Amino acid sequence: MTSAKQMIVTLFIVALVCSIVLSFVYSFTSPRIANTQSELTLAGLKEVSAAQEFVEIIPDTLWRALDSSGNCSGIVFRVFPQGYGGPIPITVGIDLDGKITGIRIASAAEGMKETPGLGAKITEKDFIEQFKGKEASEVPLKKDGGEIDAITAATISSRAVCDGIKTGIEKYTSYLGAVPNKVNVFPAAQEFVEIVKEKLWYALSDTDTLGIVFISSAQGYSNCITFMVGVDNDGEITGVEIVYSNETPGIGDKIREREFLDKFTEGMPEAITGATISSKALIEAVKNDIELYQEYLK
Amino acid sequence: MRRWHIFTRGLVKENAVLILMIGLCPALAVSGTVRDAFGMGLAATFVLFFSNVIIALIRKSVPNEVRIPIFILIISTFVTMIDYFMQAFQPDLYRALGVFVPLIVVNCMILGRAEAFASKNSVINAALDGLGVGIGFTLALTIMGSIREILGNGTFLGTTVFGEAFRKTPVIFMILSPGAFLVIGILKALINKYVKKE
């Protein structure tokens, strides 16, 4: 009969040695694990968006897509709608107009549990390509009033994908901001001609070019602020609208107030007390961008 | 000769899956593709080999009453190690195997070898036994994985085998759960007919 003391000591030593060994293995592999994870995530994001850089807003769930000059070009988010065999991991990219730039459904190896040969066909190109350029209202299956063809014999999985994407777009669009009508920032113009896609327009009246309208962004307090500005040929601001801002409600969020935005048309406004960082960022960015686009003004 | 026998015994004559019918849970669950099956086999072999060696090494100082918790501790240490390694270097395989990697801890084949062999034999014999049983397990899983992937998905290690037409409409049944039972049943029947027990 072994004494209780001997049992306790042996168990203790074995447990101690095991945990020491494991902590070494962990410290050696954990940076590598984190690295592989982020590489995989980035590769996945690039599949659904043409953006150069992605800024994480909600960890592992929501990213803002930035183009090569650092401006917001859309967002990318992940949703996990319940399919037939389990949650389906979907990555969705949407542009500033709320249109889908691409979707990616995880393969079976990455945790998609739909039935092989049936529901798993949701990962095939024919199905995925349908989503490109669609808006939230067009995403449901045709039989549900949308524009997506379901996969034969895989309606549950197809519908889950559509529902997940639609819910995701509705949930995260606020991070994108609905793009305001260009007339709001340039009331005198009758027509707008795009110079740089989704970014810069000529403001026209009948035949004359009156000025330009552009969308740009600034680094605010919590996130980037996206705004739209109209400038006439004399370099005078005709209007400023906030496209997207996630500044602190009640503080930085004051930059959305009409009173403040209207001051841009009478020369540059003062920073808002209590929202200095956000308002200064906006004022500076507007100033810089007008200089940047000077060459487009006659 | 005896050592050679210890090693080869686990390969066919006492193959864990196909003869002893142990370790069936991962064999049925992750033999859908060759890659998953082979990866699972290697992971189990790694754990089996090292836990056998360590247990044989400390067998004389382990009090009989607490041997099971100690074996489990050692086995789970190696399982956690392989879990970390796989996450770091084979993330795709890791995700495919999912919960079956941590479940190697409770694979009765591994505790079975620790209890029945490693705790009573020398380090070298325990190492050979672990390696033999592990390779036998890997072989069984890979055979099942090959049959199921070729028939059920029309591919072998991801490359199309019987042409594109078959690839599009394979015997889906084989890659689903019932396929696993059918394949293991047929393999077991063949082995019963052709391999004589000792």
- Tens-place pLDDT, residues B137-170: 999 999 999 999 999 888 888 788 888 888 777 8
Same domain, A232 and A119: no
Q: Check whether B32 has a pLDDT greater than 80.
A: yes
Same domain, A101 and A196: no
Query: Containing domain of residue A226, as a range?
Result: 182-296
Question: Residue B38: which pLDDT band, with cuts at 50, 70 and 90?
Answer: very high
Out of A2, A18, A117, closest to residue B77 by CB: A18
Q: Check whether A123 has a pLDDT greater than 90.
A: no
Assigned domain for A41 exists: no
Higher pLDDT, B1 or B119: B119
- The tens digit of pLDDT for each residue in A27-60 reads 999 999 888 888 888 888 888 888 888 877 777 7
Is any Cβ of chain A less than 8 angstroms from the Cβ of B58?
A: yes
Q: Check whether B134 has a pLDDT greater than 60.
A: yes
Is any Cβ of chain B less than 8 angstroms from the Cβ of A30?
A: yes
Question: Residue B183: which pLDDT band, with cuts at 50, 70 and 90?
Answer: very high
Same domain, A75 and A126: yes
| Alpha carbon of residue A22 to chain centroid | 39
Q: Check whether A251 has a pLDDT greater than 80.
A: yes
For position B126, what pLDDT does the model report?
Answer: 94
For position B41, what pLDDT does the model report?
Answer: 94
Assigned domain for A3 exists: no
Q: Check whether A241 has a pLDDT greater than 70.
A: yes
β-pairing, A72-79 vs A62-66, is antiparallel
Residue B49 · residue B137 · CB < 8 Å? no
Question: Residue A198: which pLDDT band, with cuts at 50, 70 and 90?
Answer: low
The answer to whether A32 contacts B172, with C-beta atoms less than 8 Å apart, is no
Assigned domain for A15 exists: no
Task: Choose the final residue of a domain: A132, A153, A175.
Answer: A175
Assigned domain for A254 exists: yes
Residue B57 — φ and ψ, nearest 5°? Answer: -65, -40
Q: Check whether B198 has a pLDDT greater than 60.
A: no
- Using an 8 Å CB-CB cutoff, list chain B residues near A30: 84
Name the 3-class secondary structure at B27: helix
Single out the residue of A111, A40, A32, A28 nearest to residue B89, CA to CA: A32
Count of the separate structural domains present in chain A: 2
Same domain, A115 and A227: no
Is any Cβ of chain B less than 8 angstroms from the Cβ of A116?
A: yes
Sheet containing strand A62-66, edge to edge, reads A53-58, A62-66, A72-79, A90-95, A100-105
Name the 3-class secondary structure at B197: coil
Same domain, A71 and A110: yes
- ipTM value, please give it: 0.82
Residue located via tokens 């969020």: A253
Lowest mean pLDDT among A73-77, A151-155, B160-164, B176-180: B160-164
Assigned domain for A22 exists: no
Assigned domain for A227 exists: yes
For position B196, what pLDDT does the model report?
Answer: 66
Out of B96, B152, B175, closest to residue A109 by CB: B96
Single out the residue of A106, A118, A129 nearest to residue A44, CA to CA: A106
For position B1, what pLDDT does the model report?
Answer: 62
Residue B118 · residue B129 · CB < 8 Å? yes
Assigned domain for A250 exists: yes
pTM beyond 0.95, yes or no: no
What does each C-alpha distance from A245 to A19, A217, A218, A250 come to in angstroms? 48, 10, 10, 13
Mean predicted lDDT score pLDDT of chain A: 84
Same domain, A208 and A291: yes
Assigned domain for A201 exists: yes
Out of A14, A15, A36, closest to residue B88 by CB: A36
Higher pLDDT, A70 or B143: B143
Task: Choose the final residue of a domain: A111, A143, A175.
Answer: A175
- The tens digit of pLDDT for each residue in A270-288 reads 888 888 888 888 898 888 8
Mean predicted lDDT score pLDDT of chain B: 89
Structure tokens at B4: 């050679």
Same domain, A137 and A208: no
Same domain, A162 and A190: no
For position A223, what pLDDT does the model report?
Answer: 61
Same domain, A202 and A118: no
Q: What angle do CA A4, A6, A8 make, to 5 degrees?
A: 70
Lowest mean pLDDT among A48-52, A88-92, A143-147, B162-166: B162-166
Residue A77 · residue A31 · CB < 8 Å? no
Same domain, A247 and A205: yes
The answer to whether B32 contacts A116, with C-beta atoms less than 8 Å apart, is yes
Lowest mean pLDDT among B3-7, B41-45, B169-173: B169-173
Same domain, A105 and A137: yes
For position A219, what pLDDT does the model report?
Answer: 75
Interface test with A, best of B80, B84, B85, B97 (most A CBs within 10 A): B84
Question: Residue A159: which pLDDT band, with cuts at 50, 70 and 90?
Answer: very high
For position A9, what pLDDT does the model report?
Answer: 92
Task: Choose the final residue of a domain: A151, A175, A199.
Answer: A175
Same domain, A262 and A285: yes
Structure tokens at B126: 């325990």
